[in-house]
Structure 1
Amino acid sequence: MDEQVKRFEKYVKNNNLAIEKYNLNNFKFAECLDVTSLEVKGCFNVNLTIPPLNITRLLMVKSKFDLEGIQNMTQLTELYLPCNFLKNISQLQYLVNLKILGLNNNNLRDIRPLGKLKQLETLNIAENKIQNINTLFNLVNLHNIELDKNAVKDNTCFKALNNVTELRMINCQQNNIQSVRYLVNLQILHICRNNIDKITPLSQLHFLRELYISRCNLDNDISALSCLTQLYRIDMDYNRICDITPIRYLVNLEMLCMSNNHITDISILRNLVNLEFVNMSVNYVQDLLPIENLARRDSFVIGLQMQPTPEIINCYLNVRTIFLSKEMNKLAVDKHKSLNKNIIQWRINIDKITLNCLDVSNVNLIKIIQLFQQINNIDDEKVYQ
């Protein structure tokens, strides 16, 4: 065995070899007989002209690599090539066994070689310079596509995916998204940071379960949501929405994020009995009574921006997490991840202005595990008893 290969034996774990920031001049990957997964990060002089024999998974990140020789690695089922400044991917058309392909953060414009990868199930081509995706038309096994931060402008471009019956997710942030209405099998849709004022095309996506549409300059008309009764997660932060009435029909909703809008009335939430996370911070909500029953559940999490009276605090003592600070952007829960009821603890975050309006001696905080009191001057010992 080559001496250089022996040097890397200690980096092999569970048939995976990971090499980082190394000059791989004359390194003979083919001698790594027991390796089925190879990770190369920030390396130089990578040579795959004599490819590894048993590699089925290859990750190559920030390495000086022009894909020469990779066309011979036909046994690959997973290939990740982010951040390699790639422009030409013609060699990839021969990797017909690929099921997962990551080409994000490159300089790609032409993705036509991908049209021959019939087994492809997951494709990440985010953060490139792609304008046309018609070549994906025949990839009937695709169910997960990442397209965010490209230059897709053709309003009919997604018709190319019309035959993809198992398409479940598409991420097309910072693109023209009008033709997503053709993707009737979608279950997850990310269209954040698009300058759109209407979401009418979404009304046809009846299988949609998760919708992320924050920072899109949406106006007050969200009536299209009333048809999407399978939705259980919505993120519409940072828009111009006033009326949330259409949401009343979304009985499966578990997470609702609508901070930084123009909402005054949340009474329609009263009957959404499956809600577990609500963020209405930086709105104009004053009446919390509509969600009083929801807030009595141990798993409920709420984010608001209003003056907390003793009645409000006591009413929400069963809320697992409550945010009542002036700065509502510092949430303690990642709203894009599933809530973990075993990890989330009791938290109350009160800023100085809020405290001035709060009679702390009348507030029962006996169930609080963690109390955040930044920028406060609490000197009432009753709070801690």
Structure 2
Amino acid sequence: MELLNAEDLQIEEIEYQAFKYAKKLKTLYLKKNLISNIENFRGVPLLVHLDLSYNRITHIKIDAFAKNRELERLLMNHNHISELPGFQNIDNLEELNLSNNDLQEISDNQFRGNPMLNSLDASYNQLRHFNLNQLNDKPNLSFISVSYNNLESLYIPGQVQKLDARNNSISYINANSCSLQNLYLSNNQITDISALRNCRSMIILNLSHNKLQSIDLIDAMPELSNLNVAHNQLFEINFPAKVAHPLQILDLSHNKLSFGPTNKFDQMKTLKLNNNNFIEFKFGGMMKTLNYVQLSNNEWSCEKITQIMQEKREIIYDINETCINSQARLLNGICCKDYKRAFNDRLKEMIQEIFVHENVNKKDQEKCKPTKPAIGVNQPNVQTMHNKIAELDSSTREMFNELETVKSQIAHIEQEIISNTTRQYKLQTVNQSFKQLVETYSGNYGIPKEGLISPSKTLEKVEKYTQDRKRNSENLLARRTNEVEATNARMESKNSEKFTSQSENERLEEVLKNIKTKESKLKKEKQLLEKTWNRNSPSVHG
């Protein structure tokens, strides 16, 4: 027998020698049962396909698959697994599904073997730690899903072509080398995507529902055909202006964009611009290929929006019935303004935004920049000033007193600046030392150097990573200890049951022996009675 289908049979337990006589079994379906514990599958060394999905598994022994070296497809999704068994001996493993379980962390050497691994699904768990760097040595690995977890950082293995990391808390991305074609990063905390510049084979990129303010790496993705950056904080988006781009689907909705890209999109089919601050958009050559457009809730100039309204009215799928803004008017289902008024309104808002942004940056730079004393306080000058003040009338004396107070405050501030500069220099020296340590040991932590991030920020990440790793190691040790104790308890229970069974067998054997002795006596008595009956029968019937 090479195939056994035991799906949906209400099986609760797999006995120790359940497959003792199934040495040739290759495919085993145990889907949709009530199994809660897995000890091992040693009795089926030729097993290739094993489906344990949709059970109630909470515990799998660490060496459960130690003898299943031929296993290629292992499905354990939709269970309650919180700790993984070892996979190191499964040399032929190609597909592994761990989705919809209770995993909180995957150790850094979990996939130390498995050179043939092609697909890995760990979605819908509670993962806080899973360093994908350990998968770099899997040349056949093309698909990974870690979506719907609690990951804060993401390392992209160089050979993976499709990666799904939606719905996490990712704020840091690292991709030293990249072969990605499809990348899904929606619903995260991403502010910087410069690491994706190496992904020149990208075809589908979803960055929606993040915290991006600008994008300028599209020129590094010449094959990109589907880009979704909806629901971000984009003020600008830069495309290569001179070269035609194969982009077919572009979603810019729900951002803060005012002007669109001006390059050639002669293959564009779907374009979503709704819920921005667009005044105009140069559709150009894309007018010939577009078949779906969303334009609502912008600052459109009535003059600039006329072209698409006249030529492609039928492809606009979000028509307004009324305009909320009293200064806008409804033009063929799209709210728009007089161009001059719209431009001036938006220009005023942009100036205010830029002013606030520059002031904040200026203050931040002044806080971090070492400053030399700008104004010196010279004692003779102060004395001369006092002499002049004595000669002035009472109307001007108050002003000079105030000036003297200000200069005293300036002198005090200068001293603080000098002190802060000295302190900052010391901090920079310490930071430089720590930076060298970080660069020395960064490989051990899986956190590469980031060119534009300050040492203190990198150190913070290393410290957090180290703490998480320590906590995960402690949790793993505790769980391993509990597992050993539970295993010992089960062994003691089984030994006790075995001893009880042996005692019961001995008792039953003794009872059987007594019964046989009695049976032998009864047979002898029966024979004597029969002889007596035969001997006396003539006289009885006489």
Please report the TM-score for the alignment, with normalisation by the length of structure 1.
0.66
Q: CA deviation at 1:261?
A: 0.6
Could you say if the C-alpha distance between residues 47 and 228 of structure 1 is closer, same or farther in structure 2, counting changes exceeding 3 Å?
closer
1:255 corresponds to: 249
Could you say if the C-alpha distance between residues 267 and 212 of structure 1 is closer, same or farther in structure 2, counting changes exceeding 3 Å?
closer
Deviations 1:131-187 (A, max 9, x none): 434432432332222233555556xx738x4xx4x3223333435454423133222
2:72 matches 1:77: yes
2:111 matches 1:110: no
Separation in 1, partners of 2:246, 2:106: 41
2:128 corresponds to: 129
Separation in 2, partners of 1:32, 1:107: 32
Q: How does 1:168-183 map to 2 (within 5 A)?
A: 168-173=161-166, 174-176=168-170, 178-183=172-177
Q: Secondary structure at the match of 1:268?
A: coil
Letter paired with 1:41:
K
Letter paired with 2:317:
F
Could you say if the C-alpha distance between residues 81 and 316 of structure 1 is closer, same or farther in structure 2, counting changes exceeding 3 Å?
same
2:283 matches 1:291: yes
Separation in 2, partners of 1:257, 1:21: 48
Q: CA deviation at 1:296?
A: 4.1
Range with bigger deviation, 145-154 or 133-142:
145-154
Deviations 1:230-259 (A, max 9, x none): 211111011111222326456011111111
**Are the counterparts in 1 of residues 205 and 228 from structure 2 also a CA contact under 8 Å?**
yes
Q: CA deviation at 1:54?
A: 5.2
Q: Secondary structure at the match of 1:185?
A: coil
Matching residue within 316, 323, 336 for 2:312: 316
Separation in 1, partners of 2:190, 2:36: 45
Q: CA deviation at 1:324?
A: 1.6
Could you say if the C-alpha distance between residues 358 and 184 of structure 1 is closer, same or farther in structure 2, counting changes exceeding 3 Å?
closer
Separation in 1, partners of 2:223, 2:119: 23
Q: How does 1:362-381 map to 2 (within 5 A)?
A: none
Give the superposed CA RMSD.
3.8
Separation in 2, partners of 1:37, 1:295: 55
Separation in 1, partners of 2:55, 2:146: 20
1:36 corresponds to: 27
Separation in 2, partners of 1:38, 1:359: 60
Q: Secondary structure at the match of 2:230?
A: coil
2:10 matches 1:22: yes
Could you say if the C-alpha distance between residues 95 and 283 of structure 1 is closer, same or farther in structure 2, counting changes exceeding 3 Å?
same
Q: Secondary structure at the match of 1:135?
A: helix
Range with bigger deviation, 241-250 or 96-105:
241-250
2:81 corresponds to: 86
Could you say if the C-alpha distance between residues 175 and 296 of structure 1 is closer, same or farther in structure 2, counting changes exceeding 3 Å?
same
Q: CA deviation at 1:352?
A: 6.0
1:207 corresponds to: 201
Separation in 1, partners of 2:28, 2:330: 60
Q: CA deviation at 1:209?
A: 2.2
**Are the counterparts in 2 of residues 74 and 97 from structure 1 also a CA contact under 8 Å?**
yes
Could you say if the C-alpha distance between residues 40 and 352 of structure 1 is closer, same or farther in structure 2, counting changes exceeding 3 Å?
farther
2:155 corresponds to: 158
**Are the counterparts in 2 of residues 102 and 125 from structure 1 also a CA contact under 8 Å?**
yes
Separation in 1, partners of 2:322, 2:112: 59
Deviations 1:44-69 (A, max 9, x none): 35767456665525251342253344
Q: CA deviation at 1:114?
A: 1.6
Letter paired with 1:274:
Q
Separation in 1, partners of 2:267, 2:317: 20
Matching residue within 189, 193, 196 for 2:187: 193
Q: Secondary structure at the match of 2:31?
A: strand
Task: From the two aligned structures, give the one with the greater helix fraction.
Answer: 2
2:60 matches 1:67: yes
Separation in 1, partners of 2:312, 2:215: 29
Unaligned 5+ segments in structure 2 are 334-542
Q: Secondary structure at the match of 1:22?
A: coil
Could you say if the C-alpha distance between residues 151 and 256 of structure 1 is closer, same or farther in structure 2, counting changes exceeding 3 Å?
same
Q: CA deviation at 1:212?
A: 1.3
1:278 corresponds to: 271
Letter paired with 2:103:
N
Letter paired with 2:93:
L
Please report the TM-score for the alignment, with normalisation by the length of structure 2.
0.49
Q: Secondary structure at the match of 1:113?
A: coil
Separation in 2, partners of 1:22, 1:74: 28
The structure with higher relative contact order (CA 8 Å, sep 6+) is: 1
- Bigger radius of gyration among the two: 2
2:216 corresponds to: 223
Could you say if the C-alpha distance between residues 197 and 134 of structure 1 is closer, same or farther in structure 2, counting changes exceeding 3 Å?
closer
Q: CA deviation at 1:34?
A: 8.6
User: Aligned pairs, how many?
Assistant: 310
1:97 corresponds to: 92
**Are the counterparts in 2 of residues 231 and 253 from structure 1 also a CA contact under 8 Å?**
yes
1:365 corresponds to: none
**Are the counterparts in 2 of residues 143 and 168 from structure 1 also a CA contact under 8 Å?**
yes
Letter paired with 1:114:
F
Separation in 2, partners of 1:267, 1:145: 33
